[in-house]
Structure 1
Amino acid sequence: MKLWGYSKKERDAGEVRLIELAEASLLATPAELRRIAAFLSDAADNMDCMGGDYDHEHLGDRQPGFEDSPHLVVARAK
């Protein structure tokens, strides 16, 4: 597993540069963590079902209430 991300400051300035992260922290409520866990479990099921055709999914597209949150994207490892 690898973590990738963008700096909010750079992204907001239009300077999108993907960087590998050493650590990620989630500031969330127990309910949000449960919804994130459900999203991750569903993404794993979708990966299994779709195999090599699976590309990626966004938390904000799958779980209501995360539309305005930082983007959490799950992608298949190659």
Structure 2
Amino acid sequence: MKICGYREGHRSGQDARPEWLEEVTLLATPAELRRIAAFLAAAADEMDRVGPGYGHEHLCDRQPGFDDSPQLVVVDAATPSL
């Protein structure tokens, strides 16, 4: 597993490229963590089901209430590059 991300305010720039991160900290409530866990489990199931054609999924598209949160995106590790 690898983790990458954008600094706040830099994702929308034309030259924006994700940076590899060593650590991620989630400031979340227990309810949010449970919804994130459900999203991750469903994404893993979908990744298994679809196989090599799996693209990516956004938390905000699958779990209501995360529209104004930072983006959490799941990508198959077999994807050649980001």
Fold agreement, TM-score > 0.5: yes
The answer for the alignment partner of 1:3 in structure 2 is 3
Q: Which residues in structure 2 correspond to 1:10-25 (within 5 Å)?
A: 10-11=10-11, 14=13, 16-25=16-25
Report the secondary structure of 1:74's partner residue.
strand
The answer for the alignment partner of 1:30 in structure 2 is 30
Q: What is the alpha-carbon distance in structure 2 between the residues aligned to residue 32 and residue 52 of structure 1? A: 29
Root-mean-square deviation (CA), in Å? 1.2
Using the size of structure 2 for normalisation, the TM-score is 0.88
The answer for the alignment partner of 1:60 in structure 2 is 60
- Segment drifting more, 1-10 vs 22-31: 1-10
**Unpaired stretches in structure 2, ≥5 consecutive residues:** none
The answer for the alignment partner of 2:49 in structure 1 is 49
Amino acid at match of 2:43: A
**Unpaired stretches in structure 1, ≥5 consecutive residues:** none
The answer for the alignment partner of 1:77 in structure 2 is 77
Amino acid at match of 2:39: F
Amino acid at match of 2:18: L
Report the secondary structure of 1:32's partner residue.
helix
Q: Deviations over 1:27-76 (max 9, x none)?
A: 00000000000000000000010001111000000000001100000000
Report the secondary structure of 2:11's partner residue.
helix
